[in-house]
Amino acid sequence: PAGLSAAIRLKQLANEKGEELEVCLLEKGSEIGAHILSGAVFEPRALNELIPNWKELGAPLDTEVTEDQVFLFSGPDSARRMPNALVPKTLHNEGNYIVSLGNVCRWLGEQAEALEVNVFPGFPAAEIIYGENGAVEGVITGDMGRGLDTEEKDSFEPGMELRAKYTLFAEGCRGSLGKQLIEHYSLDADCDVQHYGLGIKELWQIDADKHQQGLVIHGAGWPLSESGASGGSFLYHAADNQVVVGLITDLNYDNPHMSPYEEFQRFKQHPEIKQSLEGGDRLSYGARAIAKGGLNSLPRMHFPGGLLLGCDAGTLNFSKIKGSHTAMKSGMIAAEQVFEALSEGEGGKDISAYAKAFENSWLYDELFRSRNFGPALHKYGTWLGGAFNFIDQNIFSGKLPLTLHDTKPDHEGMKLAEECQAISYPKPDGKITFDRLSSVFLSNTNHEEDQPCHLKLKDLEIPIVLNLAKYDAPEQRYCPAGVYEILQDDESGEPRLQINAQNCLHCKTCDIKDPTQNINWKTPEGTGGPNYPNM
């Protein structure tokens, strides 16, 4: 959403001024929207500004929210609905829409192409080009046709250099290049550490008599509370007798035995959720990390030659559980500042004016009002943190004269395995709950097997057995796609790590949660990864 909005706004400005401007957009998925995953309840505020006549142009915003319900789940069979008067205002969704964000992005891609934006799906931005003066000058797309041993195959095609006066990075949460830019330019020197959640989602077709189009249900508490973890759940009634159900697990959890995927399967067995899904058909599955640190964790977004946008920087408003409209607005502000810089001369400058334009926007105001929401839940837990957020949001409109901070990185929260309670998860029933591999199958994930592994171990000398002994190899459980397995070596009998990179959903959880910070996610060959339909 951020990159598409920036591209569209740039071309709008150029057309208004009658100027020639070439805008190129790279997408690592097989098509626009193939890798996009979100709940999603969509707030149209930014879209109203970007394309005011979106209804006439057929934007796929068809299901307006008709009712909000918020539940506190206290156990596997118990839940209490909160009175609307006690729900933080940010969780009210009047005027919002239940959408497939993938379809919204596909539609935005059509609008971009109609404005003659050059859209290149299947081309991941794999490397950053730095000029002699230290400014970003563009990117290099990934090589195609290298074997597992990195040697060139007969089908080899080298990556292309794309040089630009300005390069805008909008890769989504924990972008592989965004992470490098933050480190290279020390963009996070003056902010709190970023915090993350893992969102797991399924799309179901359910019985018509159980469907209530426009109903939005959010929840907190069980099952994550049993492990001392936090997060939230959702069930949205979309169009055509379909619902989307999901669980967001905060990635600061401390028990290495916990599996967010299995916690999601347990959640679906709660009577409040199961009553909707029972007798239905599961259509699709996916997972994606979420940057949820908010304003306190937002790095400097400008640097010589470019800007960092949307969830690549962390503009999601966690108090609303929404990031699409904020990402779009960040892209629109970026386009206006880039266009102004181009009108004044050559590219490659540090557009520091972006910071001021950002602070003068409704985006900054919205994130400022929500700055305490996540830290309150982390510091005080679901109940006390929720009470704090009710007072902060409903009584003080997010303007309490204090700012809470959470400065502990999520990966440092992991305790030693021996200090934590082991967890035995029930076997899937094949009706409501399912195993990981059948779920990955529904995501249409595919990678060319004979290619270099895109999940890199930074230090090969860190023994697998050490990670196994200290943390019981948590990568086996925090990965929602079964990418990581501990196997016994046939000859030595020693444990070894097997990386099934073909299963990777590009969620980035391993890059975030690994307690040794030894896993580095890089882009695989173009078009690889999930192909989400209607997600």
Q: For 459-501, write each residue's pLDDT tens digit.
A: 887 777 778 889 999 999 999 999 999 998 777 788 889 999 9
Region 247-258: mean pLDDT is: 97
Residue 312 and residue 172: Cα distance in Å, rounded?
5
Region 357-378: mean pLDDT is: 94
Question: Could you tell me which residue, 59 or 84, shows the higher pLDDT?
Answer: 59
Q: Evaluate whether 270 touches 262 at the Cβ level (below 8 Å).
A: no
Residue 9 and residue 118: Cα distance in Å, rounded?
14
Q: What is the structure's pLDDT at 489?
A: 79
Burial class (CB in 10 A: 0-12, 13-18, 19+), 395: exposed
Region 258-267: mean pLDDT is: 98
DSSP run (H or E) holding 233 = strand 231-237
Best CA proximity match to 128, nearest among 115, 137, 117, 120: 137
Q: What is the structure's pLDDT at 234?
A: 98
Residue 532 and residue 420: Cα distance in Å, rounded?
36
Residue linked to tokens 């009002």: 369
Tokens at residue 277, please?
């899904």
Q: Give the range among 180-189, 459-468, 472-481, 513-522 with minimum mean pLDDT.
A: 459-468
Q: What is the structure's pLDDT at 215?
A: 98
Task: Using alpha carbons, list the distances in angstroms from residue 18 to 7, 13, 15, 390.
Answer: 16, 8, 5, 49
Express as a percent the part of the chain with pLDDT over 70.
100
pLDDT confidence bin for 39, thresholds 50/70/90: confident
- pLDDT at 433 > cutoff 80: yes
Q: What is the structure's pLDDT at 315?
A: 98
Residue 447 and residue 502: Cα distance in Å, rounded?
5
Rounded to the nearest integer, the mean pLDDT of the chain is 95
Task: Using alpha carbons, list the distances in angstroms from residue 149 to 152, 153, 303.
Answer: 9, 10, 36
Q: Which residues contact 270 (CB under 8 A, 6 or more apart)?
A: 73, 76, 77, 79, 222, 223
Residue 280 and residue 206: Cα distance in Å, rounded?
4
Q: Give the range among 7-11, 151-155, 489-493 with minimum mean pLDDT.
A: 489-493
pLDDT tens per residue, range 87-138? 889 999 999 999 999 999 999 999 999 999 999 999 999 999 999 999 999 9
Q: What is the structure's pLDDT at 466?
A: 74
Tokens at residue 345, please?
């001369």
Region 248-261: mean pLDDT is: 97
Q: What is the DSSP letter of 123?
A: -
- pLDDT at 270 > cutoff 80: yes
pLDDT tens per residue, range 322-339? 999 999 999 999 999 999
Task: Please tell me whether residue 222 adopts helix, strand or coil conformation.
Answer: coil
Question: Could you tell me which residue, 291 or 489, shows the higher pLDDT?
Answer: 291
For residue 435, count other CB atoms closer than 10 A to its CB.
Answer: 15
Query: 390: number of CA atoms within 13 Å, CB side?
Result: 12
Residue 458 and residue 472: Cα distance in Å, rounded?
20
Task: Please tell me whether residue 88 adopts helix, strand or coil conformation.
Answer: coil
Terminal alpha carbon distance of the chain: 14
Q: What is the structure's pLDDT at 415?
A: 96
Q: What is the DSSP letter of 296?
A: G
Best CA proximity match to 112, nearest among 57, 167, 61, 177: 57
Residue 313 and residue 67: Cα distance in Å, rounded?
32
